[in-house]
Structures are given as structure tokens and as C-alpha cells.
Amino acid sequence: MLVLAVGSLSLGCGKANKLNDDDAEFCSFVNVENIDNTISRINEFLGGLPKNLNDDKKIQELTKWLKSYSCITDVTIFLTVWSSFMQRSVIEMLMTFNENGISKELILDVLVTNLLEAIGYHPHFYPSSVRVTTKPNFPIEKVFDFINSLDHEVMCIENVWYKSTMSAENLIPIRDVLRSKPYISGPYYVLHYLTNEPYFRFWLCGIKNRDYQVDWFKTIDEYQLIEINEYGEYDIHFWVIEGTEKEWKAKFEEYDFVESVELSYWIHN
């Protein structure tokens, strides 16, 4: 009995060590730099599933298997998309894992073929990018005050609309002046079909530069520009520290003049 007990104990330890070794090996690749090395293991698992399981059941089994690893904190089905490039449906699985104590997220792409096939990972959203959309009637001077109050860099401000009270023949000269500004991208320009007033739409880029802001207000005065924002809104693209995107999304949503906040999600082609 003693020999059998010892033998059973040794067998149990061996099994535990094997499981621990498997967990350690798989988890050694679960980081942003090396995670593609898990693809072959995932496809081995998918290939070993019973052939009579449908795709939904296989994805459920894959989810449970991935979550069994100590380094993976959560796995959820994000969405299923059609890839025009691959001409196949792709199941996106949002995987959350720990890397050096930091929680990170990646999307695992599983191609729907005769046999499900893991084909790679991509970001859940583009790192560091957060887009803040303001409510209508929030003027540009307050937009500048808002961005100046924060430490974040601003890539661009979209949906900037102005009209000029100057006559129609000034459309092209004003356009040329706007194009000469180092902080203006565009512009789109047109004469209003009813009033014949010059209208301009463009992006303000690098506009956190205070000199650019001062120059813009001078340009407004010089060319009799009137801001049009009673119906539209400004889209402000902030750069934040990678890993803090969701934190800043929640903070931005607390401002009463903010209409919405979005992360720049990765989209299949």
C-alpha cells in the first residue's frame, strides 16, 4: 500500500509538472513581441477538436482552452467580419493578458474555412489614439483652451468649417492663404449655392502650437471668417500614453461639452 501510495503521488506530481511546463511554455510567448508563436499551438488545438462540432462550439472550446492558461485573463468574441481581401469571414477574439504586470489586449483572428484556422493577431485599436468629438456650438477658442489645458499632443482637429463675408471673387485668394499655413490641411472650398459666400472646410494640424493659434485668430479677422459650428462639431485627435487609452476615454467623457469619445479601432479590409 505504501509503495502504491508513493507511486500514485509521483504520478500526480509528474502530471502537475507537465501541466505547469505547458503553461510556462505557452505563456512565454504571450507578449506583444512574441505572441505570433502561439498560432501553431492554437491551430494544433483546433485541429484536434472533434470533427462533428460546429464552428460556434469550436470557438467556445478554444475560448475555454485559452482561458485555462495563467497568463490570459479573459477571452471574448469581439465580432465576426467579412474580409474582402481574403474573401472569407474572420472571427475576432479579444484576448486580454498580463505582460510584466500590465494588462494588454490583442485581437486573435480566426479564419472561417473548412477547418477553423488562427491566422494572426492585430491591435484591438490603434495605440495612443483617442478621438474626442465636441458638441455643436462649442467655439474654436474654447477648443484651444481645452487642448492647451492638457499635456497630450494633438494630431489634428477635423470638421473645421468657416465662411467669409468677403465677396465671391475672394474664394481662390482665401484658399491660397489657407493652403500656405503650415497648420492647415486642405482645404475643401466652395461658393454657397444660395448666398454665393465663400465656404471652407479643413483640418487644423499641430495647432497646439500657441503661435499657430495666434496666427489663426489674425487670419479670421483679416479675411472676415465666421465659424460654422451650430450644427457640426469638432473631432479632436489626441495622442495619449500607450496603455492609457481607455482611461482617457473615460476621463474625456466626463466633460459636459463632449459629445462622444472613440478609440481608433482596427478594421479589416
> Is the pTM for the entire model greater than 0.85?
no
**Number of other CB atoms surrounding residue 215 within 10 Å:** 15
Instruction: Tell me what pLDDT residue 19 has.
Output: 55
Q: At what angle do helices 39-47 and 55-67 cross, to 10 degrees?
A: 130
* Average pLDDT for runs of 10 along the chain of length 269: 40 49 90 92 95 93 96 90 79 90 88 88 84 95 97 94 96 96 93 92 95 98 94 90 90 96 75
Strands (E), 50-143: 72-83, 88-99, 102-111, 117-123, 125-134
* Measured distance CA(138)–CA(233) in Å, rounded: 7
Instruction: Tell me what pLDDT residue 15 has.
Output: 40
* Measured distance CA(269)–CA(267) in Å, rounded: 7
Instruction: Tell me what pLDDT residue 268 has.
Output: 66
Instruction: Tell me what pLDDT residue 114 has.
Output: 78
